[in-house]
Amino acid sequence: MKLTTEQITEIIFMKNSKIPTKEIIGKFQIAKGTIYWHTNPLYRERLRKYQREWYSKLTKEQKTKIFESKKDYQRIYHKERYERDDEFRKKQQESSKRSNKK
């Protein structure tokens, strides 16, 4: 589930108001890491550093496998969103028309 800007703002407000993390988790049905990601810049930077180090240790075959699985995920995500979201479909069609004119 992707959080809206309003939800992120509310999470930050709740965290700054010393509301327990468990209560925020219960209200939004999200992982603890998601709360930390949006409220703690140091957590975000440490996680990014860890991910870069982890990725750099992978072999070329492992990186290719990850890349392919991400491409498959994106393909499925866009297909499902195109089918259920009229506004997204309209934007995609307009973008396609513009690129076909070039």
Each domain of the chain, given as residue ranges in start order, spans 1-57, 58-102
Q: How far apart are CA 20 and CA 54, in angstroms?
A: 31
- pLDDT value at 102 more than 80: no
Q: What is the pTM of this model?
A: 0.62
* DSSP H helix total and E strand total for the chain: 6, 0
Q: How far apart are CA 5 and CA 83, in angstroms?
A: 24
Residues 6+ apart with CB under 8 A from 8: 38
Report pLDDT digits (tens) over 21-66.
999 999 999 999 999 999 999 999 999 999 999 999 999 999 999 9
Half-sphere exposure of 38 (CA within 13 A, CB side): 23
